[in-house]
Structure 1
Amino acid sequence: MIDLSALREKPTLAGERVNLVPLSAEHADDFFESTRDEEIRRLTGSHRRPDHDEVREWCATRSDQLDRLDLAIIEEPGGRFVGALALEDLDADNESAGYRIALSAIEFTGQGLGKEATRLVLDYAFDRVRLHRVWLHVYAFNMRAIAVYRSCGFTVEGRLRDALLWDGRRHDALIMAMLESDFRRAAD
């Protein structure tokens, strides 16, 4: 049985190169800037561009969400905001949740920051929340993200054909997931 209090706690998770902290109003300006980066928008399939007030309100209300966990990714040392992640779409009956991560700028890719952040939140998801399954979707053209997810223990479970229309072209999305047992094997 999952522990819903673990989603309500909004923990800080410390790693070697990143800390995951509760996403809040203090991250709104940096988060807003990330919604303006064209390549990040393409990689996440984000067509809509929220205005600054929407982003500020969204960030400010994350701690009120008791059935999901939104965390800011903070680079250490230095304390720079490098992105955000979430455990969302909780299905308590099936001990499952979705995972989403977005780095805030292309300059942060390829450095292992997203991989470390993913491993930190997966450890929390399986050990503290006690989930059985964590799933995500990633666009098939995002080969770097797919490689990172595979290295963390995710496997491809399926394909959503033509799930994204971007600049007149259609792209598939891959459904990837990890079971608790996959995570334990990858950690050994």
Structure 2
Amino acid sequence: MEPEIRRLTGTHRHFTREEIERWCTGRAGCEDRLDLAIEDRETGHFLGDLALNQIDKDNAHGGFRIALIPDATDRGIGSEAIRLLLDYAFERVRLHRVQLEVFAFNDRARRAYEKCGFEVEGRKREALVWGGEWHDVLMMAALCDRRPAAVR
């Protein structure tokens, strides 16, 4: 994993290829998550990945994460992927809330999330140590505007 991706995701540990392949192989049978790759439409090259995870159908919410390779940033790819996943989460999975965490220093990601409907709901102070410094984590969520099934 590239150093910048590790910093933006807060990943301290280095994973072996075998560990990554084993993890990926085990995701297909998980019912509480959806993991997807982001590919370039023209070349088919890998640009990143995203996940809808920790799906709680009883309470209609789930978590979200996305990671793009450095060459895929500032092209609107992340925003498009976020919007598509939110559409899927709200319309197909029938979630009401999708939440995420982003490091306070990652302004580009925060702006993309806000552009897609996420709002900052809180802050975990000094929740990440990176490069010998403490950093805050912002908690954000996007809400679906449809009413719960019991109210309809």
Q: Deviations over 1:112-171 (max 9, x none)?
A: 111111111100000000000000000000000000000001000000000100011000
Map of 2:123 onto structure 1: 159
Map of 1:137 onto structure 2: 101
Q: Deviations over 1:87-118 (max 9, x none)?
A: 11122221100000011x21111111111111
Map of 2:61 onto structure 1: 96
Paired letter, 1:154: F
Query: Which ranges of structure 2 fall in alignment gaps of 5 or more residues?
Result: 147-152
The normalised TM-score by structure 1 is 0.76
C-alpha distance in 2 between matches for 1:68 and 1:174: 22
Shift of 1:173: 0.5
Q: Does 1:48 align with 2:13?
A: yes
Map of 2:70 onto structure 1: 106
* 1:116 aligned residue (80, 83, 89): 80
Q: Point out the structure with the larger helix share.
A: 1
C-alpha distance in 1 between matches for 2:134 and 2:5: 17
The percent of aligned pairs where both chains have the same amino acid is 54
The normalised TM-score by structure 2 is 0.93
Q: Could you tell me whether the CA contact under 8 Å between 2:37 and 2:50 is conserved in 1?
A: yes
Paired letter, 2:111: A
What is the Cα-based RMSD across aligned positions, in Å? 1.1
Kindly tell me the number of residue pairs found equivalent between the two proteins.
146
Runs of 4+ in 1 over 6 A off after TM superposition: none
Query: Which ranges of structure 1 fall in alignment gaps of 5 or more residues?
Result: 1-35, 183-188
Map of 2:51 onto structure 1: 86
Map of 1:3 onto structure 2: none
Partner-residue secondary structure (3-state), 2:28: helix
Paired letter, 2:89: A
Partner-residue secondary structure (3-state), 1:49: coil
Q: Could you tell me whether the CA contact under 8 Å between 2:104 and 2:138 is conserved in 1?
A: yes
C-alpha distance in 1 between matches for 2:132 and 2:58: 39
C-alpha distance in 1 between matches for 2:145 and 2:57: 18
Q: Could you tell me whether the CA contact under 8 Å between 2:32 and 2:56 is conserved in 1?
A: no
C-alpha distance in 1 between matches for 2:96 and 2:72: 30
